[in-house]
Amino acid sequence: MILRKQSAPLLPWLSSACPCNVFASFLLVFALFPASSLHSESPLSEKNQTPWRNASVFLFNDAYAGFVKNADSADPMNRLGQAATLLNTQPRTSQNIAAAQEILLDLSQNPSPHSTLSKLSRFLLARIEENYLTPPQLGEAKSRYLEIVKDKTGIPLLELSASRLVALTTFAKDKPSENLAALAALEPLAGFLTTPEGTREFHLAMGLAILENEGDPNLVLSHLIKADKIGFRRKENVIHNWLVIARLSEKIGNKNLATEYYQRFINNFPNDPKTFGIQHRLTNLTKNGAN
Amino acid sequence: MEQTNNSRIWNLIGLGLVIIFFLVAAIPMVWKSFTQSLPTDSKEITIRFAHWQLEGGVRRAFDLAAAEYTKLHPNIRVEQLAIPDKIYVNWLITQLIGGTAPDIVQMGKGMSDERTTRYFLPTSALSTKPNPYNKGTTLENTPLRETFIDDMESVFSTTLLDHYGVPLSAFTLRMYYNLDLLQEITGSTELPATYGQFATLLKQTTEFSQKTKKRLYHIAASGDNAPSLIDKVFRSQTGKLGDGLAYDFLPSTRPPAAHLGMAFANGEWDFNEPSMRAAVTLLRHLGSHLQPGFMQVSRDDAMFNFIQGNALMMPGGSWDYSSISAQADFPVGVGMIPTPLPDEDSRWPFSEGIISDESTNASVVMAVTKESRHSEIAQDFLLFLCSLATNEMWAQESGWLPAVRSAKIGSESQSFMPNLNGFTGGFSPGFSGADTKRVVQTSIGLAVNPNGSVDKFTNHLNSEFRNALASDLERNAIAAKINSQRADTVSLALYVLSQNGDASAADKLAIQLEGMSATDRGYQLGLQAIKLLK
């Protein structure tokens, strides 16, 4: 397990405004280094660092060329890099996607289907099935996502599989009632999630999916508040979640909760262009009661 | 024999000349080489920066800032390259690809994620430390990011997860007016504060024009500034509309395009909606007082009409002020663009109140290129430019707003200060992208021409809007899908690097994961909206 000194928070107002989020931020960073470290399983060679760095800053063609130059069939990290960058190398072709799939299918079984490398490969395979193939193979993608969630990977990136399942279910059927039933069947997935990020994204996705299908507002609030307690790094996400909680509480007549979240927004973002309107809304809420 | 001697003398003279010329050429080079090996402090270094802000005052402000910097660092000279905006993109791309770009360039035009990451240095590392040039000021201990009015959000790339560059200014939209003319027409030097009074002013202007037989436009407008005016008109009337929609999840925030699209597809709103009709009624009134054929008029032509005294008013950005005031031979007034207030009269029941300058982000973003041979000095110059004292001086000299918090502004710029004491307003019909904007802009004549009407415009939009909306949402969905695909590779790379002990990658990954979910959600919403619209 690798520990590191926590760097300066990207959004300092968040930690200064909400002490609870300091702990949350720590957890988020800490959770990026799960017990089964990729580094210990498949160390990253010096020569492959530059291509991975290029891939991390959107220079996909350069990254792919770097991986090919250093190609070594015995180096799984190089092969994973080739597959990952083939997905976005320009021009994006079906041959590239097929080649990436082939590499990932092999990596998902070798050296071991339980390795972190295998899990990452399976996640990318699910992403290909969902988002790259024409037509998409949503059934296969869902099975892989479900399998990864049940693996309890402890890796935030892979735990996004749970929120992907929610997204694929949100509008899957024509009738909102059917979507709500399918979403309810996903509730137990929360029990498989062990990282704050995976858990937060799952609750956020569930809350919004139920809301889009006009489901139980209290269930929506419960999910969104769970996500809020873990905390967000991006200001726009903090604001979005707080205002949805406040607005929904206002709509169902939960004046206290609406007031709490409107007030929280005003206190933390006094210079935001929305603050004037929110203050006006809060004043009316206090004066007239919830509508 | 004598001929041989002469030839030898000429050869010697020739050789001598060659040696002399060689020495003349070589000595300065040897001297230059010698001086370049001296410590950095005594080297003369030139930093070049490029921008497209040719407006009056801005270049002078940059020159002054450069001169101040040279006073502090006598061995560093700073040169600006002012490139006309029409050729800026082509010029910049050529320079970047050719490896000949200046040390600093203005960002914004012709940028893509790939160009940004390939050619520019991020400023995230600088953003967390105080600006050394703020020493001795109220911002001395403030991290650079928090010294800007928007906390550097305008320079944060949500896809690249880094800050690129620093902003220098901020812009707002205002109504310029010919102060002499206004006084002649109304006896007042101030634009009216309410829309009712503004309507009276328009009427008085018509009467003045008829009486004096002077051909006078009420408002000089162009295809450049009219869309912002139209947008504000709609926003002033549709603020309450969101509250009634099933997808009203966000108070005081414009609903996402996909939600508005879903609501439109479900028949929750269209252009017969009373608040939409109110907006079109307002548009018809205001639009019929704009320069005829305004959508085809260029910005320069509209400005020419105003500067020539042929128009009483002209909407424009704060960036135009220095040019207008320098060229007009009459005093130029600056006022807010009036929109109806709720208690003004019973004609505008959908107005919430004053519409704020909600989208005032810092702009004029300057960034250091990776090719810069003196990138550290270039970054230092940027820090100098965006320090409290320099940004204040730059803003006062250019007549533009500063981007740095608590920077004092000149009395002339007070009218441009962003007004946040107002509502953000609702949405305008061009909310989803190019196709809905096209439908509105190409049919605007149906609303504002003498033979047009509210009914003609709304009926036209009701028949044309659905396809345009679906087309925009399809384009948005494709963009969201591509972003989502790119995020797959980036997030995996960040994860691999973080596992290799890269703390910065771990930080970025934490943020990237939030972004991935949001992008995917946007994509799903877009698909659902398209499904409902078709």
Cβ neighbours of A238 (radius 10 Å): 24
Q: Are B425 and B235 in contact (CB under 8 A)?
A: yes
Q: Which of A29, A57, A160 sits opposite B510 (nearest CB)?
A: A29
pLDDT recorded at residue A37: 67
Residue of A nearest to B516 (CA): A160
DSSP summary character for residue B399: T
Any CB–CB contact under 8 A between A247 and chain B?
Answer: yes
Reading the block at residue B191, the tokens are 């634009």
Question: Which amino acid is present at B255?
Answer: P
Q: Are A83 and A100 in contact (CB under 8 A)?
A: yes
Give me the residues of chain B with pLDDT under 50, please.
33-40
pLDDT recorded at residue A21: 45
**Nearest in space to B333 (alpha carbons), one of B294, B306, B298:** B306
Average pLDDT of the residues of chain A: 86
Rounded Cα–Cα distance for residues B389 and B134 (Å): 8
Find the Cα–Cα–Cα–Cα dihedral B463, B467, B470, B475, rounded to 10°.
Answer: -140
**Nearest in space to A76 (alpha carbons), one of A120, A34, A123, A126:** A120
Helix (H) or strand (E) holding B168: strand B166-170
Any CB–CB contact under 8 A between B511 and chain A?
Answer: yes
Q: Are A170 and B258 in contact (CB under 8 A)?
A: no
> Is 50 exceeded by the pLDDT of residue A2?
no
Q: Which of B494, B507, B521 sits opposite A208 (nearest CB)?
A: B521
pLDDT recorded at residue A36: 53
Rounded Cα–Cα distance for residues B144 and A74 (Å): 47
> Is 60 exceeded by the pLDDT of residue A11?
no
Rounded Cα–Cα distance for residues A166 and B474 (Å): 22
> Is 80 exceeded by the pLDDT of residue A142?
yes
CA distance B380 to chain A (A): 22
CA distance A37 to chain B (A): 7
Q: Are the beta carbons of A237 and B514 separated by less than 8 Å?
A: yes
Q: Which of B253, B506, B521 sits opposite A32 (nearest CB)?
A: B506
pTM for the full predicted model: 0.84
Q: Are the beta carbons of B485 and A250 separated by less than 8 Å?
A: no
pLDDT recorded at residue A160: 96
Q: In what order do the strands lie in the sheet with B76-82?
A: B76-82, B45-51, B104-106, B362-368, B166-170, B401-402
Q: CA angle, corner A66, sides to A63 and A69, nearest 5? A: 155
Rounded Cα–Cα distance for residues B186 and B46 (Å): 54
* Per-residue pLDDT tens over the stretch A218-269: 999 999 999 999 999 888 899 999 999 999 999 999 999 999 999 999 999 9
* Per-residue pLDDT tens over the stretch A42-81: 777 888 899 999 999 999 999 999 999 999 888 899 999 9
Q: Are the beta carbons of B114 and A59 separated by less than 8 Å?
A: yes
Burial group, residue A1, by CB count within 10 angstroms (0-12, 13-18, 19+): exposed
Q: Are the beta carbons of A197 and B488 separated by less than 8 Å?
A: no
Q: Which of A7, A44, A214 sits opposite B507 (nearest CB)?
A: A7
Any CB–CB contact under 8 A between A57 and chain B?
Answer: yes
CA distance A153 to chain B (A): 14
Please indicate whether residue A111 or residue B49 has the higher confidence score (pLDDT). Answer: B49
Q: Which of B424, B492, B521 sits opposite A205 (nearest CB)?
A: B521
Q: Over the range B188-208, which residues count as b (16 or more CB within 10 Å of their CB) and which as e? A: eeebbeebbebbebbebbeeb
CA distance A204 to chain B (A): 9
Any CB–CB contact under 8 A between A218 and chain B?
Answer: no
| E runs forming strands in B180-324 | 217-219, 311-317
Q: Which of B493, B496, B514 sits opposite A233 (nearest CB)?
A: B514
- Substitution target in B252, B357, B531 with the highest count of A β-carbons within 10 Å is B252
Residue of A nearest to B524 (CA): A167
Q: Are the beta carbons of B513 and A250 separated by less than 8 Å?
A: no
| Chain A residues touching residue B151 (CB < 8 angstroms) | 13
Helices A116-131 and A138-150 pack at an angle, to 10 degrees, of: 150
Rounded Cα–Cα distance for residues B317 and B422 (Å): 19
**φ/ψ (deg, to 5) at B362:** -65, 145
Q: Are the beta carbons of A131 and B488 separated by less than 8 Å?
A: yes
**Pairs of residues, one from chain A and one from chain B, whose beta carbons lie less than 8 Å apart:** 196
Q: Which of B118, B356, B421 sits opposite A59 (nearest CB)?
A: B118
CA distance B122 to chain A (A): 11
Residue reference for tokens 């769970």 = A226
User: Helix, strand or coil for residue A250?
Assistant: helix
Helix (H) or strand (E) holding A58: none
Any CB–CB contact under 8 A between B485 and chain A?
Answer: yes
Q: Look at strands B162-163 and B166-170 and give their pairing.
A: unpaired
C-alpha radius of gyration, chain B, whole number: 29
Residues 40-79 of B with CB under 8 A from A: none
What is the residue-wise DSSP string for B357-386?
-TT--EEEEEEEBTT-TTHHHHHHHHHHHT
Rounded Cα–Cα distance for residues A94 and A87 (Å): 9
pLDDT recorded at residue B34: 46
Residues 160-189 of A with CB under 8 A from B: 160, 163-164, 167-168, 170-171
**Nearest in space to B219 (alpha carbons), one of B318, B306, B338:** B306
Question: Which amino acid is present at B71?
Answer: K
| Chain B residues touching residue A124 (CB < 8 angstroms) | 488, 492
Residue of B nearest to A45 (CA): B500
Residue of B nearest to A90 (CA): B486
**Nearest in space to B43 (alpha carbons), one of B73, B77, B75, B79:** B75
Burial group, residue A252, by CB count within 10 angstroms (0-12, 13-18, 19+): middle
Any CB–CB contact under 8 A between A7 and chain B?
Answer: yes
Any CB–CB contact under 8 A between B180 and chain A?
Answer: no
Residue of B nearest to A24 (CA): B510
